[in-house]
Structures are given as C-alpha cells and as structure tokens.
Amino acid sequence: MSDYLAISEEIRALGRQAEREIMPYFARIDEICEENTEKVLAAFAKNRVSDNLFAGTTGYGYDDHGRDTLDRIYADLFGTEAALVRIGFVNGTHTLSCAMFSAVSTGDTVLSVTGPAYDTLQNTITGDGCGSMKRYGIGYKQVDLVDGRPDLPAIDKAVRDDAVKLVFIQRSRGYAVRQTLSCAEIGEICKTVREAGSRAVIMVDNCYGEFVETTEPTQVGADLVAGSLIKNPGGGLAPTGGYIAGRADLVENASYRLTAPGIGGECGATLGQNRLLYQGVFMAPHTTAQALKTAIFCAKVMEMLGYEVSPKAEEPRYDIIQTIAFGAPDPLRRFCEGIQAGAPVDSFVTPEPWAMPGYDDPVIMAAGAFVQGASIELSADAPMREPYVCYMQGGLTYSSGKAGILLAAERIQKQRRA
C-alpha cells in the first residue's frame, strides 16, 4: 500500500460503513445539481456564449463584452435586474462591503437580523478604521437569533425604525454555532420586513449557499445578494473575485464603491481571466454537489467517532459547511492536520493557529488549494476558542474529499491510541 495514503484498515472500514449509510441522501443532491445545471446552460444559451467572450482586456477594460455578458448571465441565474462579477473584488468581505454601502449613507442605520455579522465584516460596519460605516456616521443595530432561528416578531419591531435603510441577513453560520438559513426562511424574513411597511433594502450574504438549493435569496424577496467567486459560484476554477446581484440601482451604486463614482462597472480589465470565470460558473452546480457529498460523509464519520456535528448527515443542507464540535484543542488540531495531509497542494505542511487579519482569536486553517484560500476546495478552519468547533467545507471531487476526511479521522484515532 506504499502508493496509497496512510489510512489504517480500521478507518477505511469505518468509511465504508459511513458511505453505505449516507448513499440514500446523495440522490436529492444529484437532483438539485441537474436542475441548477440546466439553469446555467439556459443562461449561457440565452446570452449567446461563444469563445470570443473569453478574450480578456487590459488597461481600462472598456467594452469588455465577455465581462459584461457574464454580468447578464449572473443576473439571469439569480433572477435579478443586474449583476456585477469582477476579479477586482479581493475577497468576500470586500464584495459584501461594497454591496452594503450601495444602500446606506450618513445618518442611516444597518440592521442585522441574524445576530452579529461575520468576524471580518464587523470592521466594515462598526470598526474604527478609515472608510468604515461607523466613520461615515452610519448606525448599527442587530436582532439576535432565538434558538438559532430568526426572531420574526423582534424583526418586525426593529424594522419600523425609519432610520433602518439596510436589513442584513447572513445566510451561513460564519463562526457562530447556529443553523444555516434556507431560502424559505430568508423569504419569511423578507415577508416580515415588507409587512412591517419597511422599504429598507434587504441584502443577503450568500457565501457558501449558491447552488445548494434550486432557488436563491433574490428569488424569495431579497433585493441584493453578494458572495465570493472562490467559493461555490467559481466552481473551483475562478482565481479570485466576487459577485453582486440584485436591483439595478443598487448594483450600480456598489460598482461606484468598487471603482469610483461615475466609472463603476464600465472599467475593470479582465486580464485574460474570463474563460475561467465562465467555466467556473458552468462547473459550479456540479462542484457544489461534490462539496455537499463530502460534507455529508464528514458528518457521518465524525459522528461515528463520537463528536457532535451540524448538520447531521440526514438533515437538509443549505450551505456547504459542516461543523464538528471537538470540545478541546488537540483533536481539532489533529483534524486540521489530516485535512491538510489530504490536500493536493502543500500536503506536507502542518497547519498552526495564527493571528489572521480581521479575527479576534488565533485561527487554525487547513487549506491546500490550487487557488489560495478557496473554500470550495477541501478546507477546514476554526477560531481557537471554546467550544473548539471546526468548520469544514469544500471538496472539488467527492473521492478526494472522502480521502481527506479519512486522513483526518486517522490522525484523531492515532492521537487517541497514543
């Protein structure tokens, strides 16, 4: 077995048993993948995609037909008036920040209705740094979740404040111990906001949730969604970037934040990356499905090893993230070591906690990816704080994702035997 990964027969047997138990859950994932693939193909056909659109531009990037056509494809996929898909977005936080600023100005208030925003986004909202909303005189309020679910009565009350001009919804869990929201639940929040008479813009942080369901938040009442291209919609091929989709006026405002007022989305050279962005979104439904299957396998294996997982293997999924509560730092570290060992890139390195920019606690991250930091590729990360919950996501192929999970289980079992 020298040509194969160092996984004991004990762990391989555990994996085979887990796989037998989870196979029935894969059928629904395949159905969603097929429906979303048809949606992508229809958008490509409608917008007459041909290889001349793959050529990139330099300099100012004027008249980049490939870039502008991809905007229209994203708008079709998300059921919106407009979209902005750009490699100029450096990460998800940058994309979300531009989207949020599209709806508010001095004196307005942002209302987060899913508790605190993700760690790095807090700097945009309440941070003291130059360019934060706080520095612009934009207020912030939040409605906390109740038992992990939206508090609709409290949201109804909070949005009646006329100063609230942006209602922010974080679909995924971030580094919180909570459930991911389904599009149906997001739709209920949108309904509550509108029935309260509020005209505030409803925006959803859609990271990790694209193509997991057959609908998107903008199809159930949200005005704006935003996310990263090195997560689901990039299909593992996009080298960088982000997207914003929604009402045309909001998308235009966001483009001014990305570049400059009066320039917006008219500039922005694509530097030969168009083909990867097109091919990435074409692959996105399939790649997302592979990540979901990897997550289900992870849930079952880690549950069989005695750890608390969320969601459980049999539960519905609304994003690609799988959490494992280790309760102590050592098994968490061993898990991340195993995920790193199963990566195609940098498998020989050992992940160590470090002070990542934008986070209050040291973060350990396993991410041996072809695209640096791409969490649609198999990765795992966690803040080193109680209850030592790890967040695993990605897997370009189920086979490689499964191997990474088995290696992680092997590291944990080896530490238990010692």
Rounded Cα distance, 338 and 302, in Å: 13
- pLDDT band (50, 70, 90) for residue 416: confident
Distance CA 281, CA 71 (A): 12
Say if CB 378 and CB 401 are below 8 A apart.
yes
User: Is the Cα torsion angle 344, 349, 350, 355 positive or negative in sign?
Assistant: negative
Ranges for all domains in the chain classified under CATH 3.40.640.10: 39-280
Specify the pairing of strand 242-246 against strand 82-86.
Answer: antiparallel
Tell me: pLDDT of 177 over 80. no
Q: Lowest-confidence range among 15-19, 99-103, 194-198, 379-383?
A: 379-383
Query: What's residue 309's pLDDT?
Result: 97
Angle at 60 between CA 56 and CA 62, to 5 degrees: 70
Q: Rounded distance, CA 232 to CA 357, Å?
A: 23
User: How confident is residue 2, by pLDDT bands cut at 50, 70 and 90?
Assistant: very low
Element (H, E) at 26: helix 9-46
Residue with structure tokens 């991340």?
336
- Measure the CA dihedral 366/371/374/380, to 10°: -10
Q: CA dist 338 to 309, 347, 366, 418, Å?
A: 18, 9, 9, 16
Nearest in space to 234 (alpha carbons), one of 285, 190, 277: 277
In angstroms, rounded to a whole number, what is the distance separating the alpha carbons of residues 221 and 60?
Answer: 35
pTM: 0.96
The percent of residues above 90 in pLDDT, for the chain, comes to 93
Q: How confident is the model at residue 258 (pLDDT cuts 50, 70, 90)?
A: very high
Q: Please give the Cα distance from 110 to 157 (Å, whole number).
A: 14
| Tens-digit pLDDT profile for residues 59-101 | 999 999 999 999 999 999 999 999 999 999 999 999 999 999 9
Phi-psi sector, 360: left (phi>0), alpha (psi -120 to 50), beta? alpha
Cis amide prior to 331 (ω within 30 degrees)? no
Residue ranges of E strands in 223-321: 224-228, 242-246, 308-310
What does the pLDDT look like over 298-352, one tens digit per residue?
A: 999 999 999 999 999 999 999 999 999 999 999 999 999 999 999 999 999 999 9
Total residues belonging to the chain: 418
pLDDT bucket at 1, cuts 50 / 70 / 90: very low
List the single range of 89-93, 157-161, 176-180, 245-249 with lowest mean pLDDT. 176-180
Residue labelled with tokens 């991250």: 365
Share of the chain above pLDDT 70, in %: 99
Nearest CA-CA partner of 253 in 189, 203, 208, 187: 203
Exposed, middle or buried, 137 (CB in 10 Å: 0-12/13-18/19+)? exposed
Phi, psi (degrees; rounded to nearest 5) at 110: -95, 130
Q: Is the pLDDT of residue 417 over 90?
A: no
Q: Cβ distance 128 to 134 under 8 Å?
A: yes
**Per-residue model confidence as pLDDT tens digits over 212-237:** 999 999 999 999 999 999 999 999 99
DSSP secondary structure string for all residues of 87-150: TT--SHHHHHHHHHHTT--TT-EEEESSSSPPHHHHHHHH--STT-TTTTT-EEEE---BTTB-
Six-digit token pair at 147? 């038992």
Confidence of residue 29 (pLDDT cuts 50, 70, 90): very high
The C-alpha atoms of residue 410 and residue 305 are separated, in whole angstroms, by: 11
Looking at the chain, the domain(s) classified CATH 3.90.1150.60 span 9-37+285-417
Domain 9-37+285-417 belongs in CATH node 3.90.1150.60:
yes
Least confident of 176-185, 192-201, 280-289, 340-349: 176-185
Rounded average pLDDT over 286-290: 98
What is the model's pLDDT at position 413?
93
Q: Would you state the pLDDT for residue 120?
A: 84
Average pLDDT of the chain to the nearest whole number: 96
Task: Convert the pLDDT of each residue in 100-111 to its tens digit.
Answer: 999 999 999 999
CATH of 39-280, one of 3.40.640.10, 3.20.20.70, 2.130.10.10, 1.20.1050.90: 3.40.640.10
What number is the average pLDDT over the span 9-22?
97
**Is pLDDT larger for residue 357 or for residue 253?**
253
Residue 176's pLDDT band (cuts 50, 70, 90) = confident
Q: Which of 172, 387, 403, 179 is nearest to 301 (CA)?
A: 403
